[in-house]
Each structure stands twice: as C-alpha cells, then as structure tokens.
Amino acid sequence: MDRRPPRRPLTLRDVSDASGVSEMTVSRVLRGRGEVSAATRDRVLAAAHSLGYVPNRIAGALASKRVNLVAVIIPSLSNMVFPEVLAGISAGLEGSGLQPVFGATHYDPAREAAVLYEMLSWRPSGVIVAGLEHDASARAMLAQADVPVVEVLDTDGTPIDSAVGISHIAAGASMAQAVLAAGYRRIGYLGTSVGGDHRARKRRAGFVAALATAGVPLAAETAYDGGSALAKGRDMTAALMAARPDLDFLYYANDVIGAGGLLWCLAQGVDVPGRVGLAGFNGLDLLEGLPRRLATQDSRRFAIGRRAAEIVAGGLHGVIETLTPELIRGDTIRTLP
Amino acid sequence: MDRRPPRRPLTLRDVSDASGVSEMTVSRVLRGRGEVSAATRDRVLAAAHSLGYVPNRIAGALASKRVNLVAVIIPSLSNMVFPEVLAGISAGLEGSGLQPVFGATHYDPAREAAVLYEMLSWRPSGVIVAGLEHDASARAMLAQADVPVVEVLDTDGTPIDSAVGISHIAAGASMAQAVLAAGYRRIGYLGTSVGGDHRARKRRAGFVAALATAGVPLAAETAYDGGSALAKGRDMTAALMAARPDLDFLYYANDVIGAGGLLWCLAQGVDVPGRVGLAGFNGLDLLEGLPRRLATQDSRRFAIGRRAAEIVAGGLHGVIETLTPELIRGDTIRTLP
DNA sequence: CTGAAAGCGCTAACAA
DNA sequence: TTGTTAGCGCTTTCAG
C-alpha cells in the first residue's frame, strides 16, 4: 500500500502528475471518450486507482452541461405504492447512467413546489412527478424546465409534457360495472380523508358516476386518516356494517383497507361474496396470501415507473401513455346475480 | 412525441441585468447571506421571480465546495423495510436543507461499490449505507470520504465511522429466550435464501446460539426466495408442518412471511399459540390488522433512518448507537409453559 | 452595504 | 493520439 492520501481532495491534476499524462488525456481515459493509446490508458488507470481518485462530477457537469440526475417527486414513502414506482424508475434507469434523486411532498402542493425548486437547481436531466395536479408555481417551473417532464400514475387531465399512468376515473367506472353486473345494488364506499389524494378521489368519482348511470346511488360512505391501514379497514368495515347492515357491496379506496375489511368479514363469518361483495384497488402482492383473494385492479405502478424512466432516459417529450389496470376478480365478487 | 429546441438557461447575470444590481448582490439576496438593503432585496426578488430564475447549484457547489446532497445506499426498495428507513432519513433531514440521493444495490457488493462511486462523485455532504458488510473497494472509498458516513440497521461489527442500528444477534437471542421461557422445545426456522441479507443471517445465528446454550437444537429449517412473501409464508409453513408435524414453534425471518404462516394456521384451525407458537421480525404496522397479533420485534427502522440523518446533518463522526428492538409478544407466544 | 476580480475542477473546441 | 486554451455559473475574497 502507498502512504495515506492527502486530506485535500484529489483532482484530475493529481492523477495527471502521478501518471505524467496531461489532465485532458486523463479526463478522456476516465470517461472512456476519444482515442487514447492502450499504454497511456493503463498508466492513467493505474495512477487513478492507486490514488483512490473519484472524479468530481460537479465540475464535470458545470463544464459539460450534462447531469446524470433525475428528479423524482412523490407524495410519500409510507404508502407502499410509491416505493414500487421508485423501484420501477430505478429499473428503467438501469444502464442509462442516470441516478434518481427523490423528494417527498406529503401531499402538500407548497412543499411540492419547494422540493421541485430545490431539485431543478441541480439541473437534472429529467423530472418525474406523481400526478397532474400542481400549484401555479410548480406548473410554471415544470413548463420552463428544458428537460423531459413525466407526470405519472394518472392520465385524467392535461400533462405539461409527458404522462404515463392509468385513468382512475375509468378504473372506478370499470369496477362499478363489474359490481353492477354481479347484481349488487346497495353499495358503500370506504375511502381516505387525505385531501390531496386526487387519484382516489377520481376513482370514487368514476365509480359513483357509473353507478348513477345505472340509476344506482352510492348507499353509504366513510373515510379514515392515518394509522395502520389494515386495522383501519377492519374497524371502518365493522362500523359501517353496524350502521348500515343492508349494504351488499363495499368498495375500498385501496387494497390494504380492503384486506382489513375482508379479514373482518371472514372473522365474523359473513358470507363473502354472497352476502357482501368486496373490492379494493392496486393489485398488491399482499393479497395473494390472504385466505380469500380480494377483488382489485392492478395499478401498474412498477410498469409506470419504468416507462417514465425510459422516457426521461430517451430524452423524449410529449409522450402520453395510458395503461389499462387489469381487473382482478379474486373471490370477493360473486359471478352470478 | 417530439423534440424541443434548447433554450438558453437563465443565469445570475440575467437577474442582474433585469434588476440593475450586481451579480454578487443578487447572489447574496438569493442565498439570504450578508447584509443587503431591503430595497435592493425586493428589486432582486421581483426580477428573479418574474424571470422564473432557478439558481444553478452545480456552479454554486463548485465555487463554494458545499453540496446539499446526502447519498443513501440501500439493498432494495421492494422490501417494505427500506422505504421506511428512507422515510426516517427524509424526516431527519427536514429543515437541514439536505436532500437524499438514493441508489439500490440489490444485495450485490459489486453494485454497492459502483453506486457508491457514482454517488461520491457528486461530493455529497454525507453517506448513509445499509449494513456493515462492504467489499474492499467500497470500504476504501468510505474510509477516504471526508464526510460523515453512517452505516445503518446493524451494529454487529466495526463501523467505518458512525453506526446506528440494532444488534441482530442480540435480537435473535432475545427472541430465543422468550420462546424457551414459554416452554417451546421443538423449534423451526423459516428464512430467506437471499445470500446478502446479513441481518437475517445474524438474527438466525443469535437465535440458534441462544437455543444451543439451553441445550435445544434447531429442529428444522427452510427458506424461500422471491414472490409474494405472504403467500410464501403460508406455503412454507404448510410444507414444513407437513414434513415435521412435531414442531411446536416457528421463528420467521420477517413479519410478512410470519403473517402468512399465521393466516395458514388460523385457516387450518391449528391452536396458536397452544399447539404451535409463532414469531416474526420487524414490527410491521400490517400485523395490527390481523385476526391475531403475531409476536415480533420492532426493528426501529424509522428511528434509525432519522437518527442517521441527524448525524449527517450535524456533521458528526464516530457516533455509535445501538437501539433496542422492543419485543412485542402479541398473541402467538403462550404465557405459561 | 455593494462591487470587481479570481478562481472552483472539469471538459469543449481546437491545435499540434 | 495528445496537449492547450478558454470558459461553465457561481461564490470567495477583498476593496470601496
């Protein structure tokens, strides 16, 4: 081993001195650009390696105007769904040399704008942001950003640049049709009270509208906020069924509360799907281990993240892709009326 | 899709021209540093705002050698646990002006080193990395990095700089003692086959060692890889109990497979915790909604993330904190032998 | 309180 | 194939 490296951070110049090759050529070797003789390359790499040199991308980015960062802005990390989108983004960025930087908004438009400003100050090569709803300031920044901007998870609205997602209005409507076709008529909705969750709101709206078209009103509805969603689903279901024992179908804002409701029904010996039908949303893996499979719709979040990343990596603009959320009937919607 | 003509990005100079104030003073205003008259400040802010100027932190970081990025390196995003650590980091960074940049290693040491190199090239203000096990190259880079390095989730080993986590060996041992005290003697372990999961391996080792001290051998063991963990837990449990019906306790590598096992037992009418006791690990919220609460240990992942972030934000070095994972007995370990 | 000059460490563009 | 010359857009430093 050589002696301890200096506390002063190493620069290209150190590698240049150690190898007797000009800074420019060292730079070429380290980036794998341009023609460099094998001998020179070896000398440079040996020097860089033995010094433990790590290039300074800040300087590199400033000089080249190329930044390998992608800004990712999502509401939260606690909701299972977003990490899965991140995983998809991570997968889609694979091999492109791009790296995700993420920020959470906690469903607060002002924080979204602040986080976005912060991220744009790094001049990322692209922006991926959840949803189509942004405040005026965020909207202006996104419109001015001269890089791919992909709004994900939702296509019910007008994107600023590209969008990849599903129509939550259509998803709600599609579920309503399946529920009606199965003969259920006294239908309750169990949602969340997170004001900023536009996608849940749209599903509910699509669901209610489709019911209305068939002359069926929403019979009851309730909402929760915070805490363990599985337990909340159980408790909400117990409360709603106590208040409205006539209900024959329960549509949940998401699979986790739906699973809680399902477990409650099974524990109570309620006949599912005969006496009461159930459905959630997201298509979580989780459901596969339950004693009975909850009806749901696959929200395609991994695929959405991956596709968004590909759009950014490809430097594309104006791409709009609406994926179709597969309806998974599971065991909680009866087949015959 | 289409492509857009590049626009020249705005610079300080544009704001300077628009406001008639020198670049230097504009810079001061925008950073809130130094004494600037209210009148000048207002003029500058008005100009910056109306232009939609976003500062270029790349240039700023190069000039000031200050970077508001924190590198976060975790094995994966699909395992619930890591997003929660990220959420803790996000919370701990709140108000510090620091932003997390994350990368996933997929439990591959070579990828860990590659991701780390990539991140260090941005000269982050700190590094938070999962675990104490790294390859020689990663270890060397971390040792040379002149910023806080916090290894999280595990304290069974020697950290490079700081560490915040729990002792998984002790956690396994502690669970073993609870199991033995309850009188269980024919004990099986249900784990994962992810080779790089050092923490699960350490829990198992601590568990087995503590059993051995009491003269009790591990009676059986099995492992899974991939797929829906809840379903896997159910299937593994079914298979193991079929092969070894004499087992009276099942220790799971994590709560999700444990929950799957619990649901299977309940569905089969197995007397839990009388005939068979069960325990998992992590203390997931999920468990609160199950018909019976699985015994587990809180792995303190949010707190760990937050604390690690605080260490980075504080610029601290050499801090070692071992949190204690609370034992949650739930309803799946009997109280009397 | 405000401004001018001199880089930060690297790479584009050109020269040799 | 390799080297030289200018910056990239900002902040530090020091002068007014």
Among the partner-chain residues A58, A231, A318, the one whose CB lies closest to the CB of B122 is: A58
Residue A152 · residue A304 · CB < 8 Å: yes
Is residue A109 scored above 60 in pLDDT?
yes
Say whether residue B286 is in contact with chain A using an 8 A CB cutoff. Answer: yes
DSSP code, position A317:
B
pLDDT of residue A77: 85
Among the partner-chain residues A99, A123, A233, the one whose CB lies closest to the CB of B58 is: A123
**Per-domain residue ranges for chain A?**
12-55, 66-165+301-325, 168-299
Q: What percent of chain A has pLDDT over 70?
A: 97
Residues of B in contact with A61 (CB under 8 A): 58
Q: Do B230 and A289 touch (CB under 8 A)?
A: yes
Fold equal for A66-165+301-325 and A168-299: yes
Exposure string of B111-144, with b = 16+ CB inside 10 Å and e = fewer, is bbbebbebbbbbbbbbbbbbbbbbeebbeebbeb
Alpha-carbon gap, residue A167 to A171, rounded angstroms: 6
* Nearest nucleotide (C1') to alpha carbon of B12: D9
User: What's the whole-model pTM score?
Assistant: 0.93
Residue B51 · residue B15 · CB < 8 Å: yes
Alpha-carbon gap, residue A169 to A173, rounded angstroms: 6
Alpha-carbon gap, residue A308 to A86, rounded angstroms: 10
Residues of A in contact with B9 (CB under 8 A): 123, 146
pLDDT tens for each residue of B316-327: 999 999 999 999
Q: Do B121 and A57 touch (CB under 8 A)?
A: yes
What is the CATH T-level fold of the domain A168-299, as seen in this structure?
A: Rossmann fold (3.40.50)
Alpha-carbon gap, residue B301 to B325, rounded angstroms: 10
Say whether residue B263 is in contact with chain A using an 8 A CB cutoff. Answer: yes
Alpha-carbon gap, residue A111 to B40, rounded angstroms: 27
Say whether residue B228 is in contact with chain A using an 8 A CB cutoff. Answer: yes
pLDDT tens for each residue of B196-254: 899 999 999 999 999 999 999 999 999 988 777 899 999 999 999 999 999 999 999 99
Question: Domain A66-165+301-325 belongs to what architecture?
Answer: 3-Layer(aba) Sandwich (3.40)
Is residue B64 scored above 50 in pLDDT?
yes
pLDDT tens for each residue of B71-111: 999 998 888 899 999 999 999 999 899 999 988 898 999 99
- Average pLDDT (B22-46) is 92
- Of A292, A6, A273, which Cα lies nearest the Cα of B230? A292
Cα of A315 to nearest chain B Cα, Å: 8
What is the CATH T-level fold of the domain A12-55, as seen in this structure?
A: 434 Repressor (Amino-terminal Domain) (1.10.260)
Say whether residue A179 is in contact with chain B using an 8 A CB cutoff. Answer: no
pLDDT of residue A8: 83
